[in-house]
């Protein structure tokens, strides 16, 4: 029973379990830890336990996170935000809130600036590690309509791989959405949580993930605050690295297609745009500009 495994792993008083969700080997409960309300996550699979390491890394780097109450080998105990006096869970309306956008920009700036100095960075999850010759051939089998694209990329795979690993890396969150952040009730701070997909990558890619969800107004606020902080520290505003951008413009859609075709039971709606770009020649033209 999962609750007993949690108790054995923590060796600390924990009880009153209320299951929130259990999916793909990750079990999430509300509970009482000691005498305080908490949320406990138990990871059956070794690969998912990287989230425990990720919380440790962020704590070492001074990046704000939900308060961590305990670590086990397969278990993570966190403050229960639903019982917090100061914090609340994000809501969809936050995407249109300028104050929340500003606070999220502050968190992302701290996250990215601290991320470049992480000693474990080279060992962390990188989305584009999955763009291998084997996986490109698998995509070709599952998505033959994009044959010309995948054959071209396979022919130039050596050049693509070299480009993918050439830029400098920092921590990347990779999973921006309103269900994955918390906001201080006065909106003066916000921070992401659920770090299972956190890893290393390009700053540009991480910001692109954020921008895709924000309105024009809140994107402008987010960018303005991020640039203000960047200017204050570096003496100039952040400008996306054009090499990173050109790599990401090709590698991002290919990665999305790999996830859509190989890791989802049904094809997700969010990947339809990339599917169309792969068949109408748009991605092929990007590949030729990058690799020829």
Q: Are residues 61 and 105 in the same domain?
A: no
| pLDDT tens sequence across 42-61 | 999 999 999 999 999 999 99
Q: Are residues 67 and 105 in the same domain?
A: no
Q: How many domains in the chain?
A: 2
Percent of the chain with pLDDT over 90: 97
Q: Are residues 99 and 69 in the same domain?
A: no
* pLDDT given at position 239: 84
Percent of the chain with pLDDT over 70: 100
Predicted confidence band of residue 290 (pLDDT cuts 50, 70, 90): very high
Q: Are residues 123 and 238 in the same domain?
A: yes
Q: Are residues 146 and 270 in the same domain?
A: yes
* pLDDT given at position 237: 85
Cα–Cα distance measured from residue 177 to residue 139, given in angstroms and rounded to the nearest whole number? 27
Q: Are residues 73 and 119 in the same domain?
A: no
Q: Are residues 73 and 103 in the same domain?
A: no
* pLDDT given at position 198: 97
* CATH assignment at residue 261: 3.90.1200.10
In this model, does residue 1 exceed pLDDT 90?
no
Q: Which domain holds residue 79?
A: 2-84
* pLDDT given at position 52: 97
> Per-residue pLDDT averaged across 231-256, rounded?
92
| pLDDT tens sequence across 101-155 | 999 999 999 999 999 999 999 999 999 999 999 999 999 999 999 999 999 999 9
Q: Are residues 69 and 126 in the same domain?
A: no
The torsion angles phi and psi of 53, rounded to 5 degrees, stand at -60, -40
Q: Are residues 268 and 284 in the same domain?
A: yes
The count of other CB atoms within 10 Å of the CB of residue 217 is 12
* pLDDT given at position 240: 77
* CATH assignment at residue 49: 3.30.200.20
Q: Are residues 191 and 77 in the same domain?
A: no
Sort residue 192 into left (φ over 0), alpha (ψ -120 to 50) or beta.
beta
Q: Are residues 253 and 284 in the same domain?
A: yes
**Where does a domain end: 51, 84, 117?**
84
> Per-residue pLDDT averaged across 165-172, rounded?
95
**Where does a domain end: 64, 84, 104?**
84
**Where does a domain end: 84, 105, 133?**
84
Q: Are residues 250 and 141 in the same domain?
A: yes
End-to-end alpha-carbon separation of the chain, Å?
Answer: 56
Predicted confidence band of residue 242 (pLDDT cuts 50, 70, 90): confident
> Per-residue pLDDT averaged across 242-253, rounded?
94
**Among 98, 109, 111, CA closest to 187:** 98
Q: Determine contact, residues 124/182, Cβ cutoff 8 Å.
A: no
Q: Determine contact, residues 21/65, Cβ cutoff 8 Å.
A: no
> Per-residue pLDDT averaged across 220-234, rounded?
96
Complete DSSP assignment for 147-211 = HHHHHHHHHTHHHHHHHHTSS--EEE-----GGGEEEETTSS-EEE---TT-EEE-HHHHHHHHH
């Amino acid at each position: 029973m999962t609750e007993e495994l949690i108790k054995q792993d923590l060796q600390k008083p924990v009880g009153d379990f209320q299951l929130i969700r259990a999916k793909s080997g990750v079990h999430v409960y509300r509970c009482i830890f000691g005498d305080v309300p908490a949320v406990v996550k138990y990871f059956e699979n070794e690969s998912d336990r990287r989230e425990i390491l990720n919380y440790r890394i962020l704590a070492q780097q001074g990046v704000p996170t939900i308060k961590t109450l305990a670590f086990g080998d397969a278990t993570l105990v966190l403050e229960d935000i639903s019982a917090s006096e100061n914090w609340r869970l994000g809501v969809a309306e936050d995407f249109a809130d300028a104050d929340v956008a500003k606070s999220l920009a502050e968190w992302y700036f701290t996250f990215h600036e601290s991320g470049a100095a992480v000693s474990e960075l080279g060992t962390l999850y990188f989305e584009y590690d999955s763009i291998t010759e084997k996986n490109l051939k698998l995509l070709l089998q599952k998505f033959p309509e994009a044959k010309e694209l995948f054959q071209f990329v396979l022919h130039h795979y050596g050049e693509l791989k070299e480009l993918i690993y050439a830029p400098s890396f920092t921590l990347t969150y990779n999973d921006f959405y309103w269900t994955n952040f918390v906001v201080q009730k006065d909106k003066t701070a916000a921070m992401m949580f659920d770090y299972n997909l956190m890893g290393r990558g390009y700053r540009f890619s991480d910001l692109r993930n954020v921008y895709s969800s924000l309105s024009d107004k809140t994107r402008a606020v987010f960018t303005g605050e991020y640039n203000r902080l960047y200017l204050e520290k570096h003496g100039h505003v952040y400008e996306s690295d054009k090499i990173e951008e050109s790599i990401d413009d090709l590698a991002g859609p290919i990665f999305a297609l790999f996830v859509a075709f190989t890791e989802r039971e049904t094809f997700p709606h969010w990947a339809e745009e990339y599917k169309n770009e792969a068949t109408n020649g748009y991605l092929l033209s990007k590949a030729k500009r990058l690799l020829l």
